[in-house]
């Protein structure tokens, strides 16, 4: 199965006018979104390390929207909500305090190292206040988007994401 996106009116206008100020890399992804190719097909055509993040950003900014989900045989199925950026592991029942602290420390350290404390103080406060694995998991997407918002973080985002997913 694969999610299929199409350009919205705003996305079509961006292709014509370049008024949105998209970077060439993001604009190239937008050009290839056609309402027919699944995300996996786009991944085969485009060489973008952070394709999922780029598509998420384009969707959030209103340039694209999900129109369908392609089934195993390529047929289109009615859309449903996008999966999270995270594929959380199944851990034994209950919250392991060591694993919880390790995940909390990793999130705080990476935010400080790649983004800085000033722009993420609210997120850092919520990470520190998280008392359960579920609390930290609910902050995962926001943490990831903060990391990829910095130049250095963008380069390391997938590796950092994988490391955090090992403990969260």
Residues 54 and 116 in one domain: no
CA distance 167 to 91: 9
* Residue-level pLDDT at 104: 95
* Residue-level pLDDT at 85: 47
Is there a domain that residue 72 lies in?
Answer: yes
Is there a domain that residue 85 lies in?
Answer: no
Is there a domain that residue 83 lies in?
Answer: no
* Residue-level pLDDT at 92: 67
Last residue of a domain, one of 77, 108, 132: 77
- Total domain count, the chain: 2
Residues facing 77 on adjacent strands: 69
Residues facing 2 on adjacent strands: 70
CA distance 72 to 123: 38
* Residue-level pLDDT at 10: 93
Last residue of a domain, one of 14, 47, 77: 77
Is there a domain that residue 148 lies in?
Answer: yes
Is there a domain that residue 56 lies in?
Answer: yes
pTM greater than 0.85: no
Is there a domain that residue 153 lies in?
Answer: yes
Nearest to 114 by CA among 53, 54, 160: 160
Residues 56 and 120 in one domain: no
Residues 104 and 68 in one domain: no
* Residue-level pLDDT at 31: 94
Residues 12 and 72 in one domain: yes
Give the list of residues 6+ apart from residue 118 with CB closer than 8 angstroms, or none.
none
Is there a domain that residue 87 lies in?
Answer: no
Enclosing domain of residue 123: 97-167
* Residue-level pLDDT at 1: 45
| Tens-digit pLDDT string for the chain (168 aa) | 477 889 999 999 999 999 888 999 899 999 999 998 888 888 888 876 778 888 888 988 889 988 876 655 555 555 444 444 446 666 666 778 999 999 999 999 999 999 887 778 899 999 999 999 889 988 988 898 888 888 888 788 878 888 888 888
CB 93 within 8 A of CB 102: no
* Residue-level pLDDT at 96: 86
CA distance 132 to 134: 5
DSSP 3-state of 36: coil
Residues 123 and 160 in one domain: yes
């Amino acid at each position: 199965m694969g999610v299929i996106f199409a350009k919205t009116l705003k996305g079509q206008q961006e292709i014509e006018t370049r008024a949105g100020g998209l970077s060439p890399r993001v604009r190239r992804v937008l050009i290839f979104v056609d309402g027919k190719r699944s995300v996996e097909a786009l991944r085969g055509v485009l060489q973008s390390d952070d394709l999922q993040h780029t598509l998420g950003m384009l969707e959030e900014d209103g340039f694209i929207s999900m129109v369908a989900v392609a089934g195993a045989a390529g047929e289109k199925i009615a859309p449903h909500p996008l999966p999270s950026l995270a594929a959380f592991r199944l851990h034994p029942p209950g919250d392991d305090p060591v694993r919880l602290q390790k995940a909390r420390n990793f999130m705080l350290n990476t935010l400080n190292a790649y983004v800085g404390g000033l722009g993420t103080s609210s997120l850092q406060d919520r990470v520190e206040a998280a008392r359960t694995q579920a609390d930290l998991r609910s902050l995962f997407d926001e943490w990831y988007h903060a990391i990829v918002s910095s130049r250095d973080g963008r380069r390391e985002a997938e590796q950092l994401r994988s490391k955090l997913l090992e403990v969260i």
